[in-house]
Amino acid sequence: MVDVLCFAETTDGTVTQASRQLVAGARGLAGAAGEVVALACGADPSQVAAWLPGADDILLYQAAANVPEAPWHAHAVLRHLVETRQPDLVLIANTCSGTALAGFLAGTTGMPLLASCIDLTLRPDSSITAHAQLYGGKAEAAVECRLPTIVLLAVGALPAAPAAGQGRVSEIAWRPPEDTRVEVEALTNAAPDELDLSRVERLVCVGRGIGSSENIALARDLADALGGEVVASRPVIDRGWIAKSRQVGKSGKTVAPRLYIALGVSGAPEHLEGVQSADCIVAVNTDPTAPIFAAADIGATCDALDLLPRLTASLRAIAP
């Protein structure tokens, strides 16, 4: 039994998929007797309970009207909750903003920070064991730490636990002291047509082995037959064949689909870091020594260009 405080990251008033998975996983760690508290800054009050059913308490922080939320607001409020509620665990999703927030929180509270964790296990002696990635995924370390501590978790690192129902939602009346070191003049949203890859359950990834930009059409056909989307590894993005917003890996997006089909992807650690939480990885590469096969659940050493039309046709033949 532990009490867990989760930071629920939001985008344009909506809790991100990574944070929804984080809170759902926290429910399993806390157990029936533990408490899960989620902090959501700027979330839509009418929807937040449905987004975070694993939380017992959902605390909302809203910036003053017509004043964009400054980056330090989330840190100040989260630190206030750590000091007043004294949770055993603080869980933050391992995103760009989450990484910065966790660093600030560890520095100001003196709590230990376990970063880049891909799993987390609670031990009977009130400690935790985590597996953390080092050097961009080239190495992995098993780390033991006493509670309380802060943990940065990869997307989908914790299995979701059944939720008993929607938690209590309340607004935080406390306000951080005035700080004029950072002033936000405006917020720029992502392009309205930019895809949220964290929500896609089936992804077809093309790597350098796809050969040319013309062959990507074959991958799109397969993705359409699966009801999924096409993404790419960095070499393909660098060639300009696919938009940067669809890059998966350390320097791109972290995803956790049910199915991830890698076509001509070698499997560099930087790429695998972004897809390690996929339920099933299917790798197609003519090189049997490609690192991608070590992470794959299913592998094929045939030519992807030969396989794609046949696989797409088979899927369409059995589609309802």
Residues 131 and 203 in one domain: no
Say what the pLDDT of residue 312 is.
95
Residues 100 and 29 in one domain: yes
Q: Are 249 and 237 in contact (CB under 8 A)?
A: no
Residues spanned by the domain of 101: 4-171
Say what the pLDDT of residue 64 is.
60
Task: From 171, 188, 212, give the residue that closes a domain.
Answer: 171
73: alpha, beta or left, given left = phi > 0 and alpha = psi -120 to 50? alpha
Q: Say which CATH number the domain at 140 has.
A: 3.40.50.620
Q: Which residues of the chain have pLDDT under 50?
A: 66-68
Taking all residues of the chain, what is their mean pLDDT, rounded to a whole number? 86
Would you say residue 188 lies in a domain?
no
281: alpha, beta or left, given left = phi > 0 and alpha = psi -120 to 50? beta
pLDDT in tens, 206-233: 999 999 999 999 999 999 999 999 999 9
Distance CA 266, CA 291 (A): 6
Residues 86 and 228 in one domain: no
Say what the pLDDT of residue 155 is.
76
Would you say residue 186 lies in a domain?
no
Say what the pLDDT of residue 119 is.
86
